Structure formats: structure tokens, C-alpha cells
Amino acid sequence: MSSFEEIIQTLKGVLHLIFAHFIIVPYYFFESFINLFVKKVPKSIRGEVVLITGAGHGIGKMLAKKYAIEGATVVCWDVNEEFNKATVEYLNKLGYNNVHGYKVDVTNRENVMEAAKNVKRNVGNVTILINNAGIMPHHSFLDHTEQEIRKIIDINVFGHFWTLQAFLPEMRRNNHGHVVCLSSMAGLVGANNLVPYNASKFAVRGLMEGLHEEFRQYPNNSVYFTTVYPFFVDTGLCKAAYFTYPALFKVLQPEYVAEKIYEAQIYNCRNLVLPPSMSVIVNSKMIFPDKANNYITENFKCEILSDLNLPNDKRLEN
């Protein structure tokens, strides 16, 4: 390319950027504002096959209940067979019999693939995949063992990859499906005592962003992706925490989180931050000076304490 052609290309690029910044972007902001007042039509999930990992307790159990109530066929996966069976029996007692339980270790690709075949044979094609399984050891990075770090990445990251490899190809072939993955506020901002967990949840964020971009390229794509970034949830993962102002930063309940995830999925929401007010804090960290961010972090603490040698008065009730 000659110098003249390079100048022309650069000029075209700059003009296009100006056009996008001052015309296209404001237009879409205005469109989004107008859409706030337009009633949206939710997707029906009646008859869909919803597979939920980590369904034995917490958010996963509440999601299984919500989707069963709404008329979906629910498939519960959990490595803890006893807890998973309890979820299925709990829903059966409520009158929801279209619920199936499988003991699955999502870190084991062969186990995932074999269980996926059984689900397809016995239940049908999974059309909604909710990757919820995860663990959260919380102590200093220097106190994490190699085994702990590997286990965090195996469950919180590779578990997503293996389930996606098991179910996403069929969704693509049928051009019908939805993937929901649980990241965390720790997938948006760093936190004390959570370094490996931070890394795993940032990885989930990147995975879902990439999948969205890839599938967006397909003509008339109808496979959707939703990433969820919840604040502290009372599921037992977090053993102890400290809040400077507890009234401002309340621990979320699994029932609330499950309800909001369901709403995000039926409206094809790409990203869900819970509570929504936390979006302000996350976005401010990107534009505030470091000293301002440090001041806010130190004076408005939402801190997970080390789970090693916890004093009783610092423990959270499960």
C-alpha cells in the first residue's frame, strides 16, 4: 500500500469512527431508552428441556423449582448424588414429575459426554443449559494449594467447556437454544482472598463473550447466551464476610437470584448484574482514578474473609 492509499484509508477510518461515535451510538442509546417503555414479549419455556448443573442446593435447586413451575422438563446434574436426589424428590412432592436427576462430575469430560448421551436418549435434546456448578475456597493466594487451584479451575471453568461441547452442537444444528452461565461480581472486579476464584469467573465472562460473538455471525441465529454476575448469595459458598455498611450491601437469597435469572433468560438478556445497582460500582472502577477506587474499596468494604481458622463471630450462617 502506497503512502497516499494509507492516508486515504486512515482518513476513511477516522471519518467512520466519528460517524459511529456521534450518529450511530447515540441512535442506539435512544432506541434502548425507548425500549424501556415498550412491553417485551417473553419466550415460552413450556416443553423446553432445561439442564442445570449444581442442582443439589442453593441457586441450582431454586432454578430447578422455577423452571419446573413454568412447565419445562428439568434435568438436574450434581456430583453430590444425595443432594441431587433430594432436589428431584422435593419437586416431585410439589407435583412436578417431569424432573430427572443424574450424578455427574462436570470436571470429567468422559462422564459429561456419557451423561449427555443418556439425557438425550431418556429425556430429549437439551435446549436450555444453565451452568451453575461452582466452588469458592476463599483465602490468600499464597495459602492456596496447587490442588485447590486446579479444582477451582476444573469445576468453575472446564466444567463449562465440557457441558458446552456436549450440548451446544445440537443447539447450533437446530438453531434453537439458550446457554446461561453463572459468573460472579468476582468476574468483574478483583477481591481479597479470591484470586483463583476471580480468575475462574473472569474466564467464564470471556468464554461467554466469545461465544456470543461467534454465534452472532451466523445468519438468523437463535441460540442465545446470558452471563450472570451476582453479588454475595446465601448458598453456603462464602463462609465469612465483612461489610462496612450491611444495610447498603445485602446478601442475596437464592430464590431471588433464580427468579432474576429466569427473567433474563426468557427476555434474551446478555448480561445480568445482581443487584442491578452494583453495575454503577463496576463501571466506576473503569473510569475513576486508582486513588479514588482505593478510597471507595477501603471505606465501603464488601470483603470476603479467609476461610482458614475463622473466629465464630465472623462466620456467616448458611
- Catalytic residue IDs: 197
The full 3-state SS of the chain, as one line of letters, equals: CCHHHHHHHHHHHHHHHHHHHHHHHHHHHHHHHHHCCCCCCCCCCCCCEEEEECCCCHHHHHHHHHHHHCCCEEEEEECCHHHHHHHHHHHHHCCCCCEEEEECCCCCHHHHHHHHHHHHHHCCCCCEEEECCCCCCCCCHHHCCHHHHHHHHHHHHHHHHHHHHHHHHHHHHHCCEEEEEECCHHHCCCCCCCHHHHHHHHHHHHHHHHHHHHHHCCCCCCEEEEEEEECCECCCCCCEEEECCCCCCCCECHHHHHHHHHHHHHCCCCEEEECCCHHHHHHHHHHCCHHHHHHHHHHCCEEECCCCCCCHHHECCC
**22 half-sphere exposure, CB direction, 13 A CA radius:** 6
Phi and psi, residue 120, nearest 5°: -60, -40
